[in-house]
Each structure stands twice: as structure tokens, then as C-alpha cells.
Amino acid sequence: MVILKLPDEIEKARTSNRIVAEVLNRLREKVKPGVRTRELDKLAAEIADKKGAKPAFKGYNGYPYALCVSVNEVVVHGMPSERILEEGDIVGLDFGVCYQGFFGDAAITLPLGRVTQKASRLMQVTEQSLYAGIEQAKAGNRLGDISAAVQDIVEAAGYSVVRDFVGHGIGKSLHEEPQIPNFGKKGRGIELKSGMILAIEPMVNEGNYKVEILPDGWTVVTKDGSLSAHFEHSIAITDNGPEILSKKN
Ligand code: MF3
Ligand code: CO
């Protein structure tokens, strides 16, 4: 069942998501060649703590960190480590909090210094596909309209969408119904309604869509070793269309 949110609940989700956006913005400044991915995790947890928000991922199904840091061929759920980020890497940062009982969740992929044209285009297309999906998130549309919009952009650019992981409803839980695949058909699936809050999160591979999980049980990598990018926003469907909650003001 998809849980519809009241205006005061959307306001709480807005606050949580703004904290997430602020943390991601602070991390943006910190992402430079030479930084260890563990330092990014530490900073994210510190900022959340200062704001009285609880990192949402830490302890979720046993995940041990506040932040997911996914470098190059890592699709999602990369774990912070002593790894030093280098010029030319692309790094996905995925962060969530719980504040006043409501969850916020968002992700960005950033370049380290100068990256190849290929890497840069992959990130651009992935972000563009996220916005194309968000545009379809309005009352009266169907879930498949979001999925198809994302898939169309990605595949027209010659890339593939990951099948094994999907976006999700979000609210008093990090993951609620519905699941939001990044592939599908226009006009199919549940009807979208005002009051839904959705985390839309395309994961896009430069090569084949197939992924595998490393022996650590978390790190998801592309099977063919190609680069992957990930962008995520939590959005509310309102009577005036989609509102991106996970952006700063
Ligand atoms: N943004 C991801 C999601 O919504 C992050 C989850 S990582 C986990 O699923 F550690 F919490 F699982
Ligand atoms: Co998510």
C-alpha cells in the first residue's frame, strides 16, 4: 500500500530532505583528489549530528556507515574506507537522515578534478534522466511514466539502466511502496496521487546493465567493469506538480 502524506507530514519530510541536501552540498566542497572516502563519511555523520538528525543508512540491514561512497565502476552501496580519491575518478555520494520521524534520501555523482569526456557525459545523462523522471511525477500520471522517461533518456544516449536496484516511496520508513524501477512502460503501473513522496534514483551503466555484489555483501559493481553513475532526489507529488524536497531552499 502506498502511504499518502498530509501537508504537515510533507513539511517534515521537506525538513529532513533539506538536511540531506545541505550535507551533500558540504561534501561537494570536500571532494578533491587526496581525500579518503572515510573522511567524507565522518563529515556527513558530524553535520547530521549537529542538526539533530540521525543518519538513516547506519544500521539499516546492518550497513555500518552513514554514507555510501561509490567510486567509478561501483554502482551503489560502496562502503567508506581508507581509499584515497584520485583525479579522474567519479564518485557517487548517497546520504539519508531521519528527523522528526521522517526520512530524507538523495544522491549525487561528482567528478574528481578533470575527468574524461566519457565520464562527464555519463554523469550528465544520468542527472538528466532523473529530472525527466521527476517531470512525470504528477497526479494522474502512472508510475510507468516515470520509469519510461528515465529509461528513454538513458538508452537514447547509449547507456543502460540497472535492473536489480530501484527507487522507492519514502516517509516514516526509508523504503516504502511503491518500488520505482528505472525502466518500464508509459501508462502502466499504479496511478500517481497528490501526497505521495518518492525517491527517484536512476543508476546508469556505461556498458551492460548487469551488476554483481562484492564479497563484502554491500558493494554493487558493474559486471563488465564499466563506469556507473547515480543521482537521487526525494520528491513530493503536490496539486501543483512535483516538488523536489532534497534541495537546499
Ligand atoms: N539511497 C539508497 C536507498 O535508498 C541507500 C540505501 S543504503 C543502505 O536504498 F545502507 F541503507 F542500505
Ligand atoms: Co534511495
pLDDT tens, residue order, the chain (249 aa): 999 999 999 999 999 999 999 999 999 999 999 999 999 999 999 999 999 999 999 999 999 999 999 999 999 999 999 999 999 999 999 999 999 999 999 999 999 999 999 999 999 999 999 999 999 999 999 999 999 999 999 999 999 999 999 999 999 999 999 999 999 999 999 999 999 999 999 999 999 999 999 999 999 999 999 999 999 999 999 999 999 999 976
Overall fold of domain 7-244: Creatine Amidinohydrolase (3.90.230)
Q: How far apart are CA 228 and CA 140, in angstroms?
A: 32
Instruction: Dig out the grid coordinates for 124 from the structure.
Output: 550528465
The residue whose CB lies within 8 Å of the most ligand 1 atoms, and thus the one to mutate among 77, 182, 232, 233, is: 77
Cα 56 to ligand 1 centroid, rounded to whole Å: 8
Which ligand 1 atom is nearest residue 68's CA? 7
Per-residue pLDDT at 248: 78
Cα 166 to ligand 2 centroid, rounded to whole Å: 8
The reported pTM is 0.98
Q: How far apart are CA 13 and CA 1, in angstroms?
A: 19
Instruction: Dig out the grid coordinates for 141 from the structure.
Output: 500520471
The residue whose CB lies within 8 Å of the most ligand 1 atoms, and thus the one to mutate among 16, 20, 57, is: 57
Which ligand 1 atom is nearest residue 170's CA? 4
Residue 206's φ and ψ, nearest 5 degrees, are -65, -35
The residue whose CB lies within 8 Å of the most ligand 1 atoms, and thus the one to mutate among 68, 108, 197, is: 68
Q: How far is CA 244 from CA 10, 13, 18, 74, 200, in A?
A: 11, 11, 10, 26, 10
Which ligand 1 atom is nearest residue 60's CA? 11
* Ligand 1 pocket residue status of 220, Cβ below 6 Å: no
